[in-house]
Amino acid sequence: MLDWSVVFGRAVVAVLQFRYFAGATDKPMDFHCLGTAGYHPNRSRHTSCYCVPQCGLVLDAGTGLFRLTELIETDHLDILISHAHLDHIAGLTFLLDVLHCRSVAGRPVDQVRVFGEAAKLDAIQTHLFADLIFPAPLDVQWVPIDETPEFSAAGATVSWRRQPHPGGSVAYRLDWPAVASCQAKRLVYATDTSGLTDPQDIAWFGGDSDMAGGLPADSGVGAAASVPDLMVHECYFRDTHRQWAEKTGHSWTSRIAELAALIRPQRLLLTHINPLDESVDPVDSEKIRKTFYGELMIAQDGLKVSF
């Protein structure tokens, strides 16, 4: 028998997804790099912040967030926080100016939601927004994700996975449905992690779990839906500093080469770059190109990647 409440619920979700996604029906989505350094800014990089303006998505809120103002295309913002280390949250305090400038320009942002693990959101509100540190209230909705392995944000179905990192961090996977002439798209964002390499993790990203050793029959992961159209992954260290990567919960070049070969995304964007390394290729990317034949990019502030 038809459960009309389920049918109605799905129709509402479809309408909401169309509303959020309507601006991007006939063109690729644009992933903007607002801040691409880990830890602290340097002369050319601010700390972690990325956005997809067409759907109001912001990933992390490091110091690069001040660059968001001129890119906003929606009346809402959904900010997904990977964890509460300062290089991923300091820019939340810049939101007051971002929102003020939009209001003055006559294009206000009516709703801002900040998603993350409950303990991290609590720490941000208690410490970053303590009166003695930032004495102004922020008009946002704080949305804990702990009880919802899957939720809707920025017109996408979002799922997340815990990662190894001091204090813990989460990776996000966003799946946008096919709408009109625009194909379904998958974006994964994994930063501040030494890398998820178990077969279940590889399948979750959309890669080939068999190559990673296969899944147990009761894994519950199921068949991979699709490889990512864009995979954004940190690579803070070269192989020469692998011991520091493992000690601090970050990724190194050979770990990325291993992941890229298993997941095989269409495009791989390396982020959270070591701010002390200002060379053109801070991750020895040729080592990754030996096992990965997709499009490989090293993030820079101001870079836009269409997917």
Residue 250 sits in the site that holds Zn ion (CB under 5 A): no
Residue type, 39: Y
Comparing CB distances to Zn ion, the nearer of 53 and 275 is 275
Residue 237 DSSP SS3 = strand
Q: What binding mask, one character per residue, do residues 3-42 give for Zn ion by CB under 5 A, x or -? A: -----------------------------------x----
Site string for Zn ion, 185-204 (x = CB under 5 A): -------x------------
The tokens describing 266, both together, are 């269409």
Q: Considering the complex, state which of residue 38 and residue 195 has its C-beta at the smaller distance from Zn ion.
A: 38
* Minimum distance, C-beta of residue 247 to Zn ion, in the bound complex (Å): 13
Over the window 35 to 74, marking each residue x when it contacts Zn ion by CB under 5 A and - when it does not, the resulting string is ---x------------------------------------
Q: With CA atoms as reference, report the closest residue to 263 among 296, 241, 286, 238.
A: 296
Contact 51, 35 (CB under 8 A): no
Q: Of 87 and 229, which CB lies nearer to Zn ion in the complex structure? A: 87
CB closer to Zn ion out of 192 and 229: 192
Q: How many CB atoms lie within 10 A of CB 117?
A: 21
- Closest approach, Cβ 171 to Zn ion, in A, equals 13
Residue 61 to residues 85, 127, 209, 292, Cα–Cα distance (Å): 10, 15, 32, 30
Measured from the CB of residue 116, what is the shortest distance to Zn ion in angstroms? 13
**226: nearest Cα among 294, 290, 176:** 176
Decide whether 17 or 169 has the Cβ nearer to Zn ion: 169
Residues in the chain: 307
Which CB atom, from 24 or from 80, has the smaller least distance to Zn ion? 80
Element (H, E) at 130: none
Judge whether 163 and 205 are in contact, CB under 8 Å. Answer: no
Of the candidates 85, 102, 161, 238, which one interacts with Zn ion according to CB under 5 A? 85
Nearer to Zn ion, 39 or 115 (CB): 39
Helices (H), 171-279: 199-205, 242-248, 253-263
User: 99 in helix, strand or coil?
Assistant: helix
How many residues of this chain interact with Zn ion, rule: CB under 5 A? 4
Number of H helices, E strands in the chain: 7, 14
How near is the Cβ of 252 to Zn ion at its closest, in Å? 15
**Cβ-based nearer residue to Zn ion, 208 or 277:** 277
Three-state DSSP class for residue 74: coil
Half-sphere exposure of 25 (CA within 13 A, CB side): 9
* Segment interacting with Zn ion (CB under 5 A) among 78-86, 102-110, 125-133, 202-210: 78-86
CB-CB neighbours of 26 under 10 Å? 9
Among 87, 117, 175, 301, binds Zn ion (CB under 5 A): 87
Residues that bind Zn ion (CB under 5 A): 38, 85, 87, 192
